[in-house]
Amino acid sequence: QSLRWHIELQPWASLSHSLEEEAMRFLKYITTPLISCENVNEHGMTDKPKMTRKPWSICLDDRFSLAHQIKNKQCRLYSLGLGTEDNHFEVNMAKVGCEVHCFDPSIKHPHIQEGKHLWYHRLSIDWREPSPAIAAQKLHSRTKKMGTILNDFGHRKIDVLKADMESAEWKILENLILENIVEQIGQLIFEIHLHWPGFEVSGDDSSVVRYWYSLLKELELKNFQLFYSYKDLSKPQIFLKKQAFNASSSYILSWVNTSWR
């Protein structure tokens, strides 16, 4: 497939291009699962009250391959933007035999292995390659696109991609779609942030929400179905710098790729 430069924007929610219409369409979309998952597993939420940890949720229904991959010790998880204070999901996925790669640019060494299945890499994921001048200064750049990292690691597929990128998630998701990387992923768990447009997302508020919605519709076109939505009430209840639409500034969303083999 050829690479694209831009995603396809969805038609406006209304002729007036009103923020309220765009926001209502978008918020309904992210809070309405498209597919039901009978066996939603929130790994790492067993020994402490739920309030203390985020519900990073995967679908372990037999009709999708992840349960089979875990059973055969063949699953692979990439975790982006990890803060070391909350790595229970990653640790527990490694305990069940998944090969877990955490990308955290703040660690001291280029690569750290903890136990048999858990690695930390001093890398951050970006939606563009660093400029050649910067890359030349730092022989081993700490910032790379997902496609570059997959090539560097020799990985063709990721069973689960988890991302908490503090508003960079929109451009990273766009890059995964435009470069057809998303088709190499079985399940996506993203924390999305709605308190401001996000890095390098331009336009008025209505245009921003239309762009967010269009990105998620592109995922749907790639056979990703939303099966889990969590509204984080512990975060400020802000939508594009306003208290509006009964929205939180943060949601955790999980999708399964229904064409994943």
Render pLDDT for 204-224 as a digit per residue (tens, 0 to 9): 999 999 999 999 999 999 999
Instruction: Give the ranges where the chain is alpha helix by DSSP (H).
Output: 19-30, 66-71, 88-95, 132-137, 146-153, 169-178, 205-221
Measured distance CA(11)–CA(87) in Å, rounded: 39
Looking only at Cα atoms, what is the longest distance across the chain? 56
* Residue whose tokens read 């400020």: 236
Measured distance CA(222)–CA(258) in Å, rounded: 9
Closest CA to 71 of 90, 99, 44, 98: 98
Sorted by where each starts, the structural domains of the chain and their CATH numbers stand as 54-228 (3.40.50)
- Give the pLDDT confidence score for residue 151 in this predicted structure: 94
Measured distance CA(244)–CA(238) in Å, rounded: 7
Does the structure show a pLDDT above 80 at 241?
A: yes
Q: Quick one: DSSP state of residue 9?
A: P
Q: How many residues does the chain have?
A: 261
Once rounded to an integer, what is the mean pLDDT over residues 161-184?
93
> What pLDDT digit, counting tens, does each position of 182-196 carry?
999 999 999 999 999
Measured torsion, CA atoms of residues 55, 215, 177, 126, in degrees rounded to the nearest 10:
-70
Does the structure show a pLDDT above 90 at 22?
A: yes
Give the end-to-end CA distance of the chain in Å, rounded to a whole number: 18
Contacts of residues 136-140 at CB distance under 8 Å and 24 or more positions apart, as own/partner, are 140/110
Measured distance CA(212)–CA(206) in Å, rounded: 10
- Give the pLDDT confidence score for residue 210 in this predicted structure: 98
Percent of the chain with pLDDT over 90: 74
pLDDT mean across residues, the chain? 89
- Give the pLDDT confidence score for residue 141 in this predicted structure: 58
CB atoms within 10 A of CB 132: 8
Model's pTM, two decimal places? 0.91
- Residue 113 burial (CB < 10 Å; 0-12/13-18/19+)? exposed
Sign of the alpha-carbon dihedral angle for 243, 219, 170, 256:
positive
Measured distance CA(143)–CA(34) in Å, rounded: 34
Closest CA to 32 of 187, 218, 229: 229
Sign of the alpha-carbon dihedral angle for 106, 110, 114, 116:
positive
Pairing label, strands 224-231, 185-193: unpaired
In the structure, what pLDDT confidence band is assigned to residue 125 with cuts at 50, 70 and 90?
confident
In the structure, what pLDDT confidence band is assigned to residue 227 with cuts at 50, 70 and 90?
very high
- Give the pLDDT confidence score for residue 46 in this predicted structure: 46
